[in-house]
Structure 1
Amino acid sequence: MSLFSYLYLAVFAVALAILITVRVRLVFTARPHRFWQWFYWAAAAMIGVFTVITSRSLDDAVSGFFITGMLGLFGFWRNGLTRQQLIARIGAPRGLNTLTALHLTTLPDGLTELAAMVGSVTVARLRFKAAPATLKAFLVKQTAPARVIIDR
Structure 2
Amino acid sequence: MKVSDILRVKGSTLFTVTPDESLSVAVTTMAEKDIGSLVVMEHGDLVGMLTFREVIQAIVANGGTVGTTLVRKAMDDHPVTCTMETELDEIRRIMLEQHARYMPVMDQRMLMGVISFYDVAKAVVDSQNFENKMLKAYIRDWPAEDASGSN
- Bigger fraction of residues in helix: 1
TM-score (structure 1 length as normaliser): 0.23
Query: Comparing both chains, which one has the higher relative contact order based on Cα–Cα distances under 8 Å and sequence gaps of 6 or more?
Result: 2
User: Highest Rg: 1 or 2?
Assistant: 2
Q: TM-score, normalised by structure 2?
A: 0.23
